[in-house]
Amino acid sequence: MPLYLALAVPAIVAAVYVYFGWTRRTRWLATMAAASILVSGLWLRASPQVDEALGGWLIATPETALLLIIVGLAATLTMAGFPAQLANEIKDHVIGPVTARGYGVFATTALPFAVIAATAAVPVISLVAIQIMVVLIAGMVAARRKPAQLRAAYGYGLACTAGLALVALGSLIPAGVTPMILVAAGWAALAGLAPLHWWLPPTVSVASAPVSALIVGVQAPLAWAMLLRLEGPTQRLLIVAAPVSIMVAIVGLIRQRDLRRLVAYVGIAGSGLLAWALATTPEPSSLRMVLSLSLNAVLLYLAVGHVVSLTGSGRIAMVRGQWTRAPLLGGALGLGLLAATVLMPYLAVRPLAALAPTPAGILGLACGIGMILVAIAAAIPTWRMLAGDPADRLDVTTGPARPLGSAGPVLIVATVLALLTPLAAGAISTDLF
């Protein structure tokens, strides 16, 4: 029953958007569709019974329900961010009603495929479901039909499809080290883990903010869950990828000029830390980090989307005095970066006391030091955006900020969840994980 709920509600909502379009009456149906996944995950987690759907092709246990909770929570916040973001884009004549309808149809259609990927009894079903998600998300990236968006959609689709092809190839080769590496590399590409991250910054720098949140908040946890199921050589590969990702993030953050790319590189650093956690810590702790990374990404991309709408530009130099102009928006952006660069690393390095004498512990300490550098590199431009004087630049908009509308409560909830997830790790591990 819970699985059918998570599959049916988004499908029905997608059909509603096809017929009625994106209107004031239908705009919150996408949030309801995503919330059905969260409710199903909580229902399955509380029930000792194994739930099946579609003749046993989908199986949900209390363990796989954790992934549905992560995906459902991130998807609910993401879909709740769509109404205000699309309203701003329609008001600014960036998109029209037809494009808004497409966002509603594609976003809600992707949700049941996320459920299928999370609960599939056969790996090939997960591959097909995620590939369909990639096609739908690529369509949303290219929705504005501008050259930059089309190139980004092509790069995103190519990278993720190539990653899934590696997974399929590794699954076909007889057991050994090589197929395990191919499978791990394929899922790492979808998760945005360096050095297979090249598609992520260009994509999120031009996509609509909720679409970026959907990529990093919903698609990436599915890839991380698949990586978590792998063993053997995969752990050594992740240990190598961890410092590489953090170093790539540090280099990408130095003198970064684009706000959305800055958030992307902060996320890549978090992915590196998560890769180390997956290779060295128990599964529940790793899932908490996946949840934390997902919530941080959703919060940051939703906040950045409204900053771009407010200033009309994604350039960091054009953003000044956000604490004064829009305190709630500035606070969400600042606290989101704090959670991503300080609190989530704290959650990751807590087990270091037990691992310190081992090579994994030393590498974790090095990754922690790297995250300190990431925090510093991200804090300098962030401070200028939040507390800088707009009068320092004549080309910075200094008028009153556009009202956030429905985005205000969404940002508040996302900020609270992003902050509490790492701080309340003990309670989460007891109640859910």
**Residue 409 covered by a domain:** yes
Are 79 and 406 in contact by the 8 Å Cβ rule? The answer is: no
Strands, E assignment, 123-251:
none
The full length of the chain comes to 433
CA 419 to chain centre: 16
Token pair 């096609």 in the structure block, residue: 135
CA dihedral 300, 305, 311, 313 (to 10 degrees): 100
Asked if the model's pLDDT at residue 353 lies above 80, the reply is: no
**Residue 319 covered by a domain:** yes
CA 366 to chain centre: 25
Q: Which residues contact 186 (CB under 8 A, 6 or more apart)?
A: 162, 163, 164, 165, 166, 167, 168, 170
Report if pTM > 0.75: yes
Are 204 and 298 in contact by the 8 Å Cβ rule? The answer is: no
Confidence class for position 323, pLDDT limits 50, 70, 90: confident
CA dihedral 326, 294, 252, 183 (to 10 degrees): -160
Indicate the DSSP class of residue 317. Answer: G
Q: Which residues pair with 315 in a beta bridge?
A: 258
**Residue 56 covered by a domain:** no
Per-residue model confidence (pLDDT) at position 92: 82
For 66, phi then psi, to 5°, come to -60, -40
Name the residue range of residue 316's domain: 122-431
Instruction: Kindly list the distances between the CA atom of residue 395 and the CA atoms of 22, 311, 320, 333, in Å, as whole numbers in the listed order.
Output: 35, 10, 11, 22
Q: Average of pLDDT values for 32-58?
A: 85
Could you tell me the two tokens for 156?
A: 């995103």
Mean pLDDT score of the chain: 85
Token pair 């969840």 in the structure block, residue: 417
**Residue 73 covered by a domain:** no
Q: Which amino acid is at 417?
A: L
**Residue 355 covered by a domain:** yes
What's the rounded Cα separation, in Å, for the pair 237 and 246?
15
What's the rounded Cα separation, in Å, for the pair 416 and 427?
15
Indicate the DSSP class of residue 351. Answer: T
Asked if the model's pLDDT at residue 315 lies above 50, the reply is: yes
Instruction: Kindly list the distances between the CA atom of residue 26 and the CA atoms of 11, 30, 32, 110, in Å, as whole numbers in the listed order.
Output: 14, 8, 10, 17
What's the rounded Cα separation, in Å, for the pair 285 and 211?
27
**Residue 199 covered by a domain:** yes
Could you tell me the two tokens for 180?
A: 């395990």
Per-residue model confidence (pLDDT) at position 241: 87
Write out pLDDT tens, residues 241-267: 888 999 999 999 988 889 999 999 999
**Residue 21 covered by a domain:** no
Of 106, 78, 342, 339, the residue nearest 217 (C-alpha): 78
Are 293 and 184 in contact by the 8 Å Cβ rule? The answer is: no
Report the number of distinct structural domains present in the chain. Answer: 1
Per-residue model confidence (pLDDT) at position 427: 45
Asked if the model's pLDDT at residue 283 lies above 70, the reply is: no
Q: Which residues contact 20 (CB under 8 A, 6 or more apart)?
A: 26
**Residue 153 covered by a domain:** yes
Furthest-apart CA pair in the chain: how many Å? 64
Instruction: Kindly list the distances between the CA atom of residue 39 and the CA atoms of 43, 65, 70, 295, 413, in Å, as whole numbers in the listed order.
Output: 6, 10, 11, 17, 17
